[in-house]
Structure 1
Amino acid sequence: MDWLNLISTGCKHATVIAIAIMTVEVSASTAGTLKFRGDAYDLSTGKFVYSENHSEFYKEGKHAYSRVSYRDAAGKEFASKIITFLPNRTQPTYELRDVRDGYVEGIRREAGGTVYYARRKADEPMKEKRIQTPAPAVFDGGFDYFVRENFNEICAGTNKSFFFAVPIELDYFRFRVARQESGDVCRMNLELDNVLLRQIVRPIKLWYETKTGRLKKYEGISNINGPDGKSLKVRVVFTYPEK
């Protein structure tokens, strides 16, 4: 894989941080389960391609873990992910599995360290590597908490950079979040933190509701592949339960 494909792969898997877990505000006294959904549409045709069905589980008012079920147009689950947010919500451990081809990626902690692991297909061996990600480090759905912790600054126009884990490459890449416009909706781009590479790799576009801090819409390359094995380019629209 050449350097450009490697960076593109990093950008593809960064979509996980944008669409995997977008958390609804829950009061500290809340316990139980919260569910919401994201519907993904092909950017070119507008056709529905899959849904993300999120279930968040809370313990003593804190987001303990989530399960995400990816389902096709017929409602059949083809991939799933478990994300554990305690004790570090910006660096959760997680595992994503796609039953169609046996794709697996994840991060676990053992002996005080962090291990990235992944395989592309069921007939390939699992590869893994112990990695110390530089600060500020963000893993998978921890991106949403990174945005929340820096939301006011980002929406005021301050760019925020971080190192994002990419287990499929057993590596990490430096990204940034940059505001594009503000108002009732704060629109921001998730992009590589390199001025030259930003001219080559398109950003991921995110629309957050300013009042609630919730992600409303996402546009860009997906971490989910189509029937041809290539990454889908999608628009994901999120719906949340009424408070």
Structure 2
Amino acid sequence: MTAIRGGFLLVAASLAEPTYAALFEFTGSAARNDGTVLYEEQHRVEGLCERGEFEPLEHHVIYLPSRGSGSDQPFAEKWLDYSASAVRPTVNFRQPNFNEFLKVTYPDKDIVSLVWQQPGGDTNRSTLDMPNDLVVDAGFDNFVRRNWQKVITGESVKFRFLAPTRGTDYAFVLEPAQNQTLKADYLVQIRPDSFMLKFLVDPIVLGYSIKGVLTVYSGLTNVRENADQNFTATIRYNVTTYPECELTP
């Protein structure tokens, strides 16, 4: 009887684990293949520790010119709200020097609304039906952590990824990756699942630490290089503030 009571107490204690505010902060440095630094990122993610795991709520990203550029003012900003979904946040991205902004919202639980003002051009508005496995923007980072057991055991995961400037989504695969120049505890890549799209879109390679922290990103970024294309870069991340709970299940 004492053992049974002890078991009940342990279960009750785990269920009663408190929920409290938590902060996750990290920085990124984006560079070309030759090592030339293009820009810096500052990330601040406010969330909650629930049942011992970090749940993101609001994410603010500031994009800064590289050090030595002569400017310390942000050239772009992004706000993400994960309160409805950790993998499908609302997105508000602005890059004023190209007069560009992008908004992703969800006016209905099954609908995605997209507003994209092109660099110095027209504003495109569209909606699309939302598949259950859709991943949006930086939600891919949380998607990786929510599939952490598959990541560390080398399994593949299929999903849909939103392409907001094209007004649609595409089938992608998260799978193990190999790369001779990128070092991480776990390397994965996100690549198109379509045979034809494979020839048009290069995979994005991601490196993660044992704790589930994104340490390196290599591929197309969401920061514009010029009016016609975005930067392709390798971004290396460093954590400045860890939440007081686990990042992975």
Partner residue in 2 for 1:190: 190
Distance change (3 Å), C-alpha of 1:111 and 1:137: closer
Q: Is the partner of 1:147 in helix, strand or coil?
A: helix
1:74-118 Cα deviation digits (max 9, x unpaired): 332011011000121111111111011111112112255321221
- Compute the displacement of 1:132 (Å): 1.1
Query: Does the aligned pair in 2 maintain the 1:133–1:165 contact within 8 Å?
Result: no
Q: TM-score, normalised by structure 2?
A: 0.77
**1:143 alignment partner AA:** F
Q: Is the partner of 1:131 in helix, strand or coil?
A: strand
Query: Does the aligned pair in 1 maintain the 2:24–2:241 contact within 8 Å?
Result: no
Q: Is the partner of 1:168 in helix, strand or coil?
A: coil
Partner residue in 1 for 2:36: 47
Query: Does the aligned pair in 1 maintain the 2:112–2:128 contact within 8 Å?
Result: yes
In structure 2, what is the Cα distance between the partners aligned to 1:111 and 1:194? 28
- Compute the displacement of 1:166 (Å): 1.5
Q: State the number of aligned residues.
A: 214
Q: Tell me, yes or no, if structure 1 residue 215 matches structure 2 residue 208.
A: no
Q: Tell me, yes or no, if structure 1 residue 92 matches structure 2 residue 82.
A: no
In structure 1, what is the Cα distance between the partners aligned to 2:63 and 2:24? 17
Partner residue in 2 for 1:70: 63
Counting aligned pairs with the same residue, the percent is: 20
Could you say what the CA RMSD is over the residues aligned between the two structures, in angstroms?
A: 2.5
Q: Is the partner of 1:83 in helix, strand or coil?
A: strand
Q: TM-score, normalised by structure 1?
A: 0.79
Alignment of 1:152-191 (within 5 A): 152-180=149-177, 185-191=185-191
Query: Does the aligned pair in 1 maintain the 2:25–2:241 contact within 8 Å?
Result: no
Distance change (3 Å), C-alpha of 1:133 and 1:230: same
In structure 1, what is the Cα distance between the partners aligned to 2:134 and 2:95? 25
Runs ≥4 in structure 1, deviation > 3 angstroms? 27-30, 59-62, 181-184, 227-230
**1:153 alignment partner AA:** K
Unaligned runs of 5+ in 2: 1-16, 243-249
In structure 1, what is the Cα distance between the partners aligned to 2:38 and 2:194? 32
**2:72 alignment partner AA:** G
Query: Does the aligned pair in 2 maintain the 1:223–1:231 contact within 8 Å?
Result: yes
Q: Is the partner of 1:148 in helix, strand or coil?
A: helix
Distance change (3 Å), C-alpha of 1:111 and 1:87: closer
Q: Tell me, yes or no, if structure 1 residue 131 matches structure 2 residue 124.
A: no
- Compute the displacement of 1:69 (Å): 0.6
In structure 2, what is the Cα distance between the partners aligned to 1:226 and 1:97? 14
**1:68 alignment partner AA:** V
Query: Does the aligned pair in 1 maintain the 2:154–2:176 contact within 8 Å?
Result: yes
In structure 1, what is the Cα distance between the partners aligned to 2:108 and 2:143? 26
1:16-70 Cα deviation digits (max 9, x unpaired): xxxxxxxxxxx97441543210110112x21111011101122575421111011
Partner residue in 2 for 1:114: 112
In structure 2, what is the Cα distance between the partners aligned to 1:166 and 1:176? 15
Q: Which has the higher contact order (CA 8 A, sep 6+)?
A: 1
Query: Does the aligned pair in 2 maintain the 1:42–1:235 contact within 8 Å?
Result: yes
- Compute the displacement of 1:154 (Å): 2.6
In structure 1, what is the Cα distance between the partners aligned to 2:176 and 2:208? 11
